[in-house]
Structure 1
Amino acid sequence: MASMMVVPALAAEAQAGASADDGLDTIVVTAAAGDKTKLKSSISVTSVSNQAIMDFTPRSEAEVLRSIPGLNLQDTAGPGGNANIGVRGLPVSTGGSEYVALQEDGLPVTLFGDIQFGNNDYWLRFDNNVDRVEAVRGGSSSTFASQAPGAVINYVSKTGDKEGGSVGVTTGVNYREQRVDFNFGTRINDTLRFHIGGFVKDGNGPTHIGYTASKGYQIKANITKDFDDGKGYIRFSVKRLDAQDPTFTSMPSLAQLSGTKITGFKNIPGIDARKYASTGAYNHHFTILNAEGNLEQVEMQGIHPVSTAFGNEFHYEFNDNLTVHNAFRWTDMRGTFSNMWTGEALTANAAAGGSFKYAAGPMVGQTYNGTYINNSAQAYVRMKDVGSLADDLKITGKFETNGANVTVNTGVFFMRQDIAMDWRLNNAYQTLDGNHNPVPLDLFDAGGDQLTANGLTGFNNQWGGCCGGRSYDLTYTDIAPYLNVDTKIGALNLDASVRFDSVKATGVTFAPVEGENITVTDALGSASLPTYNTSSTIYEILDYTKSYVSWSFGALYEIDNNTSAFIRVSRGGRFNADRLIYGKAFNKDGSLSVGGNALSVNYVTQQELGIKKRGRIGEAAFNAELTLYRAQVTENNYDFTAPSLGRDPNISATFHSYGAEFASNLRYGNFSLVVTGNYNRTKDITNGATPGAQPKLTYRVSPSYDTGVAAIGFTADGQTSSLTGMASASGDPGVQYTIPGQTYFNAFVKVRPYTGLELGMNVNNLFNKLGYRGNGGIVTDTIRNGAGVFDNSAMLGRTISASLKYKF
């Protein structure tokens, strides 16, 4: 898998006692004024160095973030993205990262983190262009960023201020994947510097998909001109991403049941969830009914983003009292999401007295006798346009008055986000027997009549026909002036900030309507298939503006040069964008309906109390941070898949959470130890329930030892048990299963026999443990003898990669 390949090929620079945290003296540049260290900032902030991330083997963008406490990462959807990223107990009700923004160099990747089939983690790839990842939870994320009251996570790029680079080659040891990485930065002269880097990859990943499923490249570059007077700079940047990766939406196993408790997992006979993939050679290409009403052959590509971006930064200090900073980025983003989901069912039940026959492959025409069958969505979504234009202008003034140092930051954020999509979601049957190349199955009734073709039961007929054939073209424009006032009086720091977001929504959606049956012929004969298509009739017009206010207040006291304590209260708004369409949220003129107005903005309030400390224990140096928090949100949203499952699509519930975040690192000579953790309790106040997928405790322990000539380390990454969030086998939505806690181990070893040369080996899931991190549930139709099929994305099995890298 491509993202697993990153770690050794871009292994960290040789440095004894490397830490996951850049220290409390790091200047915070994310969701902050940009002139304070972590120690003196009254916010919960974590910065993780490139070296630390590379050492501990991330397999997806969500796993890059696992070192950050407070985040709830349901991250096993694969390297292409599509993770659910929650924070501080705030719910992830419809997928994506609703309350969390991902940024590159201070500007959002997308305006909304949960765009349908376009989540913000689709468009990022961590590589050696990144200097560090910085994350602010709560607090100023409400007022220094739009649509991110939960957290802002920023990928901060290298800019050539440090001369040097590396080139590396990585290969999978027990799977087929190759990757080449490079990066280089230097000064051209005293005032001009640049950095360039990227990767190229090719393979089929650790699930051994029967075609080249992981391939592509990324290249990023920037050039910076420092002004002669030393008061600022101007920077230009460019990025090109074209990378295809599989997405693992479901990897089933058997679960033993004891009441509502899941007591363990084991493999379905013939199926190892740690290696399972729902795509292969026989569904690599499949047929859709496109928006023009024509049948079209398309390719199964997983998540395939194509992004081109151009950026500019201008920073100038006119004098000691006045600074101007402007960041600009234009991005063209498009691509495809194509995947075969897994929906498990007992074959006998799905056949309903008939039979299934292989529709392709060496057994074509023979009867399928497997115990289970896959009956689910075969999706092809064109992300026609997810491009954006963003600009953030900030003016900083500093002055002294009555013995107090006052800093005022004021600015205007602007972002235009396009969301143009076309959905083609068919329902299809295929084998579920562990074959690395699943085969389409045709259903025949008891009289021998063929009911499906190439496994398809129809075109655009998933989720009850409501959503299989959707098209829409939308634009959201957010204009947000903001103001922050910071006052330092001796050891006391006070700050207050406010942000005014005004979001304009325009565009149209088109009506999915039932069409005439289409007769399709395959190797076994022909079948007449029902269709839903996207008509040329406009279903909804969007033409409305929603404005709202976010605010934050904080205070920090510097107890001494090594210790500080802070308190903070904040409220941030989060605009619901394309999740509202097709939900009767708009009047005929495009304005918000009464129901749409209630759903349009969610507000998060938070209270925080934190302490930060650095010091020494004997010869060992350490940094430690502890934050206690409370959070409240009334989650209003719309789940378009709910009607097909017999549920109300309108989501409205109030959640309260509280907990503690902890982050620390310790260095003793060549030894380094990083420990992070989060304790969280969340309650659904409206329904009197505990939400699913919210473990009470998540933790990460990462010791390493680096002599310079060689290095070794491992990571223990785990969580306690949690509710699955899914209905029980009885079908009662008020009953939930408890999924057991899990701990997974990764390890690395590096040897540097000559200056600049490094050999590395990394192992993911060292003990090959079968288990699940995220949500999921028992499939009702599969219950037999006190066990059933558990449906979710599993942790991949043990995967080993080796690398050769040269640093210069």
Structure 2
Amino acid sequence: MKVAYPVRAVVAALLVTCSSHALAQTADQPAAPEAETEGQDIIVTGRAGAGERTRVETSYAVTTIDADMLRSRAPSSVTETLKSVPGFWVEASGGEGSGNVRARGIPVDGFGSINLLEDGLPVQHDPALGYLNADQAFRVDQSIDRIEVVRGGPSSVFYSNAPGGAVNFITRKPGDEISGVARVLYGPTADLYRVDGWVGAPIGGGWGIGVGGFYRNERGVRDPGFTGNKGGQIRADLHGDFANGSTTISYKHLADNAIFYTGIPLTKDSEGDIVGLPGFDPHYDTTASAQVRRMTLKSATGPVDFREDQGTRIRLDQISWLSDWQVGDGWKLSHRMRYRDSNTVRNGVYPASVSTATALLNTYRNQVIGAFPGATSIQLRYVDNGQAFDVAGQNGNGDVFINAARPVTVEESELLNDLRLAHRFEAAGTHDFAVGIYYAYIKETFRRYSASTIQDVSGNSRLLDLVALNAAGNVVGALTENGVARYGSEFANGYGSQRTVAVYASDEWQIAPGFRIDGGLRWEKVSAAGAQENSRTVNLRNAATLADDSVLTGSGVFVPYSRTFDRLGWTLGANWQFMEDAGLFARYTSAFRLPSVGSFITSAAAQPVVQGIDMWEAGLKYSSRLLSLYATAFLTDFDSYSIGNTRFDTATNSYTQQTVYTDTRAYGVEFEGTLRPAPFFDFTLNATWQEPTFRNLAFNELATVNGVQTLIPRDYSGNQLLRVPKLALRATPAVNLFDNRFRAQLDVEHYTRRYADAANTSTLPAYTVLNASVRLNVTDQISLWAYGDNLTNTIGLTEGNPRAGELTSGQANDLLFIGRPILGRNFRFAVDFKF
């Protein structure tokens, strides 16, 4: 029951004194989109009680994104959907998969700080398996009804691998009548064609069926010279609503190929601003090309088929059974089970280093000339036509890449089961108590291979051979073969299984009408076992080239591993609902993240640690027709953060790695609010200000000095965390005209300076991006949309070159360097249908 409190008049005066007249004017007018339900949405993520709780009543920070909000921006990837979530730093410049999300200062890459859920169960139990992020196996389409994002709070109590938050994609369910939605999307910039749809219909006896999915074909904003994104998914749901509960059985098949955009070459102008190089457009070019579209690479066990034209190739089948039942007065039983099986091959060309051709030739001259009798000089030549490379100015720059053509194959299957029982009862107030058990069984195999290539710096770059010449100018040998400088520069082969058992409990104790205490705990145990194959180096003995002299391959000796980890985490929060539409909350959470089978599958001797996270937060919530405001202050302490400092050695065409552990701290404020002063205008602001720092990062760094491996003492304590800005905001003014039949909105995104390395020497400059969308409702059933992204063609760097070192970057002071910027200006148009 809603209760008016004595303090209501005072707080209401503070919040809406200046707006009472506007409210009176707009009370009988159509509300802006989402205005009427803001704050009153029923939240199902981050809690397990038998009763209902609205967003404004929760004791933790939660963001809701409904289907209308998704359509207003038409995000191209899972990570793009999360850019408006405060507290999340999102990097979506890699394409439709393999994004990065960092939550509340937890400084891990990929999806290591949050978990993705589909209808309350993980999309992938561990969303940050090596080379297999959860976003690679999930696509957003018209089957999604809404998204609930829990930041911090109780996410780690109810879900595995979710210390910083949980993102729950909630699917549409069929109703009592036939209904459906469809969308046709066209993007002229990327040569994009996409069709989405969903239809639901009753079939009698309380049952209904829903079918949805998408298909798209796209070359890409960064045109690789072939179709970069191609494929789709289909899902079918059988749903039953009954007097005492509901059940859903669903099947989903995903068959998709998505290109992975890696770093590109960049430089700086006379003012120090980042610009592109002659011959390489930083907005639209990519190293991908027809020449590396498909390559047959050598290994000790036979040819390796590299298919960059397939990008990240995912084939996934998933079946789910979800049920909720009222089993007695105040009792609720929930059961969620899912089995999924996936095969993923992640093909990508990863830039390892960029330099002038002259510098590259100087690096290899002595080695190559010494390897071939009669050789007196070396030269770069194009593989396709034998033309000599102009070291003074080929493509207008005279620069070259050393890249890694890397196919990684991951086969993974998992069974997930979550069973919980909730009971609402009276005892010194009202309790909403729940207890549950979660079980996961995962099997994984992992294979990785790399070959180092030499390519020119141009859009759709071409392969180069480095050849040895005699005095007569004839070729007597080569470093490379068909552009490959080293076959087998990386190798990994492993397999394993994992069992996870977790027991959790929670209680929401309503002590008084306006005051509630919420608490919960989770004990989790992980057991991982399997084996990893050791490597050896072999010479394939092609006398004409050095490319196959040092090929890494399997030794045939598998090293077994069997490890067990467990941890107890807990949370305690309080909520004061001092008004019907306003409240305050505070919470402490002791969260954790356990190692998984992916921690050992490339190194059986690995010594991962349980990552512990202490999180404090306190927030204000207010929601009315005029104003919605959610502000949360947070502090996150993260221990045992590991930085894998991978560096590419141009002399050996191989990688060296050093792992350093440290602690981090981040504190700040998250803000999201919408002001609706008139029916024709609304303004939304999502922002995060934070101080993200390393707490005690002192170590000895392994470096090569004058050809000798040397330990150099470093102390980066107090430096800013990798790639996380201190200020990130998204401001969205919008106009609604003609009784809301027309809407136009502008997104202004701003991100302050970040760093690509812990030393804070490799700077990623601040940048601002403008995006816009326009919607016209032609009829009640048909809407037209136009989208423009990065309208000012900003070069916004999301990351530098991680292969240059993330402790101390080797490219920090280079005028020529590698970075990964956002995509260039592009436009899309859509038609929506509904019935």
**Fold match (TM-score > 0.5):** yes
- For residues 97-141 of structure 1, give each alpha carbon's deviation from its aligned partner in whole angstroms, at most 9, with x where no partner exists: 212111111111222222111011111111111111111111101
Describe the shift of the 1:681–1:603 C-alpha distance in structure 2 as closer, same or farther (beyond 3 A).
Answer: same
Alignment of 1:40-55 (within 5 A): 40-55=57-72
In our comparison, the structure showing a higher alpha carbon Rg is 2
Whole-angstrom CA distance in 2 between matches of 1:123 and 1:778: 25
Whole-angstrom CA distance in 2 between matches of 1:163 and 1:706: 30
- For residues 277-318 of structure 1, give each alpha carbon's deviation from its aligned partner in whole angstroms, at most 9, with x where no partner exists: 11111111112345x700133321221211110000111001
* Displacement after TM superposition at 1:776 (Å): 4.7
- For residues 222-251 of structure 1, give each alpha carbon's deviation from its aligned partner in whole angstroms, at most 9, with x where no partner exists: 121112xx2101110111111111111112
Whole-angstrom CA distance in 2 between matches of 1:337 and 1:225: 38
**Alignment-derived partner of residue 3 in structure 1:** none
Alignment of 1:141-180 (within 5 A): 141-161=155-175, 163-180=178-195
Whole-angstrom CA distance in 1 between matches of 2:779 and 2:509: 52
**Alignment-derived partner of residue 257 in structure 2:** 244
2:462 is the counterpart of 1:398: no
* Displacement after TM superposition at 1:252 (Å): 2.4
Verify the 8 A CA contact 2:86 2:688 in the aligned structure 1.
Answer: yes
Amino acid of the structure 1 residue aligned with 2:487: F
* Displacement after TM superposition at 1:356 (Å): 4.7
Alignment of 1:532-571 (within 5 A): 532-535=551-554, 537-571=556-590
* Displacement after TM superposition at 1:672 (Å): 3.1
Whole-angstrom CA distance in 2 between matches of 1:649 and 1:177: 42
SS in 2 for 1:275: coil
Alignment match of 2:450 (pick from 421, 425, 435):
425
Alignment match of 1:346 (pick from 334, 339, 356):
356
Describe the shift of the 1:517–1:359 C-alpha distance in structure 2 as closer, same or farther (beyond 3 A).
Answer: farther
* Displacement after TM superposition at 1:756 (Å): 2.1
Alignment match of 2:86 (pick from 65, 69, 73):
69
Verify the 8 A CA contact 2:350 2:404 in the aligned structure 1.
Answer: yes
- For residues 434-483 of structure 1, give each alpha carbon's deviation from its aligned partner in whole angstroms, at most 9, with x where no partner exists: 3xx3211101135443221111112221xxxxxx1111111121110101
CA RMSD of aligned residues (A): 2.7
Verify the 8 A CA contact 1:712 1:750 in the aligned structure 2.
Answer: yes
**Alignment-derived partner of residue 682 in structure 1:** 692
**Alignment-derived partner of residue 731 in structure 1:** none
Verify the 8 A CA contact 2:647 2:803 in the aligned structure 1.
Answer: no
Amino acid of the structure 2 residue aligned with 1:716: V
Verify the 8 A CA contact 1:184 1:195 in the aligned structure 2.
Answer: yes
Normalised by the length of structure 2, the TM-score is 0.85
Describe the shift of the 1:426–1:73 C-alpha distance in structure 2 as closer, same or farther (beyond 3 A).
Answer: same
Whole-angstrom CA distance in 2 between matches of 1:538 and 1:624: 59
2:196 is the counterpart of 1:181: yes
2:655 is the counterpart of 1:627: no
Amino acid of the structure 2 residue aligned with 1:769: T
Describe the shift of the 1:795–1:640 C-alpha distance in structure 2 as closer, same or farther (beyond 3 A).
Answer: closer
2:775 is the counterpart of 1:765: no
**Alignment-derived partner of residue 713 in structure 1:** 745
Alignment match of 2:509 (pick from 460, 468, 487):
487
Amino acid of the structure 2 residue aligned with 1:685: R
- For this pair of structures, how many residues does the alignment match? 748
Identity of aligned residues (%): 22
Alignment of 1:236-635 (within 5 A): 236-256=249-269, 263-289=272-298, 293-300=301-308, 301-342=310-351, 343-352=353-362, 353=365, 355-361=378-384, 363-369=385-391, 370=394, 371-383=398-410, 385-402=411-428, 404-434=429-459, 437-445=460-468, 447=470, 448=475, 449-461=477-489, 468-490=490-512, 491-519=514-542, 529-535=548-554, 537-578=556-597, 580-581=599-600, 586=605, 596=607, 599-615=608-624, 621-635=626-640
Verify the 8 A CA contact 1:17 1:704 in the aligned structure 2.
Answer: no
**Alignment-derived partner of residue 140 in structure 1:** 154
- For residues 472-496 of structure 1, give each alpha carbon's deviation from its aligned partner in whole angstroms, at most 9, with x where no partner exists: 1111211101011221011111121
Whole-angstrom CA distance in 2 between matches of 1:90 and 1:221: 36
**Alignment-derived partner of residue 725 in structure 1:** 757
2:112 is the counterpart of 1:98: yes
Whole-angstrom CA distance in 1 between matches of 2:492 and 2:801: 26
Describe the shift of the 1:164–1:537 C-alpha distance in structure 2 as closer, same or farther (beyond 3 A).
Answer: same
Describe the shift of the 1:721–1:786 C-alpha distance in structure 2 as closer, same or farther (beyond 3 A).
Answer: closer
Whole-angstrom CA distance in 2 between matches of 1:639 and 1:776: 13
| Residues 685-694 or 574-583, more deviating | 574-583
* Displacement after TM superposition at 1:759 (Å): 2.5
Whole-angstrom CA distance in 2 between matches of 1:633 and 1:604: 5
Alignment of 1:646-685 (within 5 A): 649-667=658-676, 668-685=678-695
* Displacement after TM superposition at 1:401 (Å): 1.4
Verify the 8 A CA contact 1:70 1:678 in the aligned structure 2.
Answer: yes
Whole-angstrom CA distance in 2 between matches of 1:806 and 1:147: 38
Describe the shift of the 1:392–1:129 C-alpha distance in structure 2 as closer, same or farther (beyond 3 A).
Answer: same
Describe the shift of the 1:664–1:51 C-alpha distance in structure 2 as closer, same or farther (beyond 3 A).
Answer: same
Describe the shift of the 1:271–1:612 C-alpha distance in structure 2 as closer, same or farther (beyond 3 A).
Answer: same
SS in 1 for 2:527: strand
Verify the 8 A CA contact 2:741 2:777 in the aligned structure 1.
Answer: yes
Describe the shift of the 1:422–1:159 C-alpha distance in structure 2 as closer, same or farther (beyond 3 A).
Answer: same
Describe the shift of the 1:782–1:97 C-alpha distance in structure 2 as closer, same or farther (beyond 3 A).
Answer: closer
Whole-angstrom CA distance in 2 between matches of 1:646 and 1:293: 22
Verify the 8 A CA contact 1:177 1:202 in the aligned structure 2.
Answer: yes
Verify the 8 A CA contact 1:778 1:791 in the aligned structure 2.
Answer: no
* Displacement after TM superposition at 1:338 (Å): 0.5
**Alignment-derived partner of residue 12 in structure 1:** none
* Displacement after TM superposition at 1:544 (Å): 2.1
SS in 2 for 1:143: helix
* Displacement after TM superposition at 1:339 (Å): 0.9
**Unaligned residue ranges in structure 2 (runs of 5+):** 1-29, 366-376, 698-716
* Displacement after TM superposition at 1:779 (Å): 7.1
Whole-angstrom CA distance in 2 between matches of 1:800 and 1:456: 37
Describe the shift of the 1:28–1:537 C-alpha distance in structure 2 as closer, same or farther (beyond 3 A).
Answer: same
Alignment match of 1:197 (pick from 212, 224, 235):
212
Whole-angstrom CA distance in 2 between matches of 1:285 and 1:633: 42
Describe the shift of the 1:481–1:442 C-alpha distance in structure 2 as closer, same or farther (beyond 3 A).
Answer: same
* Displacement after TM superposition at 1:347 (Å): 1.1
SS in 2 for 1:18: coil
Describe the shift of the 1:648–1:22 C-alpha distance in structure 2 as closer, same or farther (beyond 3 A).
Answer: farther
Describe the shift of the 1:534–1:785 C-alpha distance in structure 2 as closer, same or farther (beyond 3 A).
Answer: closer
**Alignment-derived partner of residue 11 in structure 1:** none
* Displacement after TM superposition at 1:424 (Å): 1.1
**Unaligned residue ranges in structure 1 (runs of 5+):** 1-14, 462-467, 587-594, 727-733
**Alignment-derived partner of residue 89 in structure 1:** 105
Whole-angstrom CA distance in 2 between matches of 1:674 and 1:519: 64
- For residues 59-81 of structure 1, give each alpha carbon's deviation from its aligned partner in whole angstroms, at most 9, with x where no partner exists: 322111011100011221111x1
Whole-angstrom CA distance in 2 between matches of 1:184 and 1:76: 32
Describe the shift of the 1:783–1:255 C-alpha distance in structure 2 as closer, same or farther (beyond 3 A).
Answer: farther
Verify the 8 A CA contact 1:692 1:775 in the aligned structure 2.
Answer: no
Whole-angstrom CA distance in 1 between matches of 2:462 and 2:657: 35
Alignment match of 2:127 (pick from 82, 102, 113):
113
Whole-angstrom CA distance in 1 between matches of 2:435 and 2:274: 54
2:774 is the counterpart of 1:749: yes
Whole-angstrom CA distance in 1 between matches of 2:252 and 2:772: 31
SS in 1 for 2:820: coil
**Alignment-derived partner of residue 9 in structure 1:** none
| Residues 29-38 or 245-254, more deviating | 29-38
2:235 is the counterpart of 1:235: no
Verify the 8 A CA contact 1:503 1:545 in the aligned structure 2.
Answer: yes
